[in-house]
């Protein structure tokens, strides 16, 4: 860490930003991530009722001026609480903060990290890993979220976490850069199309996979409409951490 970054980090806070879907709908997963961070010794703050949307839906709807105002409002809020780093589990929020906010807010200087990357780093640093044999590993599949994969280039880190905690990933047909969208973003406007995409995606999962894991709330919920095997990333991680000896 350079001198300037070191000075900036003094007295700074790490914010856990769950995103609208996790905070407003996926309450279990919201609690999961908080417990995971606490178990791994990751210090964080929450902004609770003061927190607002990252603005990606507004921007995607074509309201760039409004998105810019919201981004500046969020930036001012983060500065109010001395936030120097944001950890988010939402792929869309991650992409918005990481790639778009620097274009909307001239002063933007907040470090952004996706939760899967944070968790992997701590697992490696603390040498936390599965101690069983390869035969004892659980066979699972992994759905690459659009915003985390193709938009942000994060493919290996979630898979590494799964491997360190005892999972064996068998790949879905069309994965990584060639992954097919789960259809979740279409659910509100085109529910029938969304469910059809989810059904087709589930058919591509190897039959021996006991779970379909994704760190995206949209992927998790939409694929769950077609298969009970669908779980959110935090459910797998927390389950494995709870089962390990402390």
CATH number where 47 lies: 3.40.50.1860
How much is the pLDDT for 189?
Answer: 78
Confidence of residue 11 (pLDDT cuts 50, 70, 90): low
74 secondary structure, DSSP code: H
Residue 168, phi then psi, degrees to nearest 5: -125, 110
Confidence of residue 8 (pLDDT cuts 50, 70, 90): very low
Confidence of residue 246 (pLDDT cuts 50, 70, 90): low
pLDDT at 7 over 60: no
Is the same domain home to 64 and 11? yes
Contacts 24+ apart (CB under 8 A), 175-179: 175/142, 175/144, 176/144, 176/149, 177/149, 177/150, 179/143, 179/144, 179/146, 179/149, 179/150
pLDDT tens digits, 82-111: 999 999 999 999 999 999 999 999 999 999
Residue 86, phi then psi, degrees to nearest 5: -120, 130
How much is the pLDDT for 188?
Answer: 73
User: What number is the average pLDDT over the span 200-213?
Assistant: 94
Is the same domain home to 141 and 164? yes
CA distance 83 to 14: 6
Asked if 70 contacts 52 with a C-beta cutoff of 8 angstroms, the reply is: yes
Is the same domain home to 99 and 205? no
Is the same domain home to 141 and 50? no
Is the same domain home to 106 and 178? no
Domain count across the chain: 2
Query: Which residue, among 174, 158, 182, has the nearest Cα to 236 in the 3D structure?
Result: 158
> Which residues span the domain enclosing 27?
3-119
Confidence of residue 12 (pLDDT cuts 50, 70, 90): confident
Predicted model pTM: 0.92
Residue 162 vs residue 182, higher pLDDT: 162
User: What number is the average pLDDT over the span 205-216?
Assistant: 96
Is residue 125 in a domain?
Answer: no
Look up the CATH number of the domain holding residue 207.
3.40.50
How much is the pLDDT for 9?
Answer: 47
User: What number is the average pLDDT over the span 180-197?
Assistant: 84
Mean pLDDT of the chain: 92
**Which residue spans within the chain are E strands per DSSP?**
13-16, 83-88, 111-114, 138-142, 167-169, 212-214, 230-232
How much is the pLDDT for 240?
Answer: 96
CA distance 89 to 103: 22
In percent, the amount of the chain with pLDDT more than 70 equals: 95
Is residue 105 in a domain?
Answer: yes
Between the alpha carbon of residue 135 and those of residues 126, 132, 140, 213, the distances in Å are 24, 8, 13, 20
CA distance 170 to 177: 16
pLDDT at 59 over 60: yes
User: What number is the average pLDDT over the span 24-41?
Assistant: 97
């Amino acid at each position: 860490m350079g001198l300037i970054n070191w000075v900036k980090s003094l007295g700074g806070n790490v914010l856990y930003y769950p995103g609208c879907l996790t905070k407003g709908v996926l309450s279990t997963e919201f609690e999961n991530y908080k417990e995971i961070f606490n178990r791994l010794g990751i210090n964080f703050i929450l902004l609770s009722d003061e927190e607002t949307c990252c603005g990606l839906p507004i921007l995607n709807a074509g309201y760039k001026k409004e998105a810019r105002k919201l981004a500046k409002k969020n930036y001012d809020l983060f500065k109010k609480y001395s936030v120097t780093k944001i950890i988010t589990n939402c792929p869309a929020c991650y992409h918005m903060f990481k790639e778009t906010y620097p274009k909307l807010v001239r002063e933007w200087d907040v470090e952004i990290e996706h939760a899967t990357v944070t968790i992997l780093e701590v697992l490696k640093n603390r040498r936390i890993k599965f101690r069983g044999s390869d035969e004892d590993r659980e066979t699972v599949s992994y759905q690459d979220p659009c915003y985390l994969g193709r938009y942000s280039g994060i493919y290996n880190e979630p898979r590494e976490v799964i491997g360190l905690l005892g999972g064996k990933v068998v790949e879905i047909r069309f994965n990584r850069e060639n992954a097919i969208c789960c259809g979740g973003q279409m659910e509100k406007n085109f529910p029938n199309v969304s469910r059809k995409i989810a059904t087709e995606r589930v058919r591509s999962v190897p039959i021996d996979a006991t779970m379909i894991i994704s760190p995206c709330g949209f992927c998790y919920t939409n694929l769950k409409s077609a298969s009970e095997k669908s779980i959110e990333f935090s459910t797998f991680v927390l389950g494995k951490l709870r089962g390990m000896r402390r």
